[in-house]
Amino acid sequence: MPFIHLLATGALGLASTALFAADKPGAQVYNETCIVCHNTGILHAPRMSDAKRWQKLVQEGLDELVPAALAGIRHMPPKGANPNLSDQEVANAVVWMVNQHGGQFATPTPEQVKAWRARADRRKKH
């Protein structure tokens, strides 16, 4: 019985790793979703070419930016209007965008993403 438990636990661990690995990297999410607004500035989205505006966003930090992207902010709908994105993919895209403007953030961990989701959910209630 312990061997079967070990096998099942190992299989679950591999499955969760595979799911995490399946999340798209930030640049890909940007190019497939975020670029629509952040390349053109539609609805006052910070354009990727606006280094001054992004510097202010970099200073806000991920604890503000990722929950805003998950929940939506001002004219930006939740997840950039792409509900098919995972929370991890949204976080990856935010990190990629701020890192293009001087941020030095690592790929978010699942624990960070979970905390940001909780903050996003609290934002929606207010």
pLDDT tens-digit profile of 78-124?
Answer: 999 999 999 999 999 999 999 999 999 999 999 999 999 999 999 87
Q: For the domain that residue 86 is a member of, what is the CATH number? A: 1.10.760.10
pLDDT tens-digit profile of 14-54?
Answer: 444 444 558 999 999 999 999 999 999 998 999 999 999 99
How confident is the model at residue 73, as a pLDDT? 94
How confident is the model at residue 15, as a pLDDT? 41
Domain count, the chain: 1
Tell whether 15 is covered by a domain: no
How open is the CA angle 60-66-71, to the nearest 5 degrees? 120
Tell whether 31 is covered by a domain: yes
Tell whether 110 is covered by a domain: yes
Give the helix ranges, DSSP H, for 23-109: 26-29, 35-38, 51-60, 62-71, 87-99
Tell whether 28 is covered by a domain: yes
Q: How far is Cα 69 from Cα 94, in angstroms, rounded to an integer?
A: 8
pLDDT at 62 over 50: yes
Query: Containing domain of residue 90, as a range?
Result: 23-125
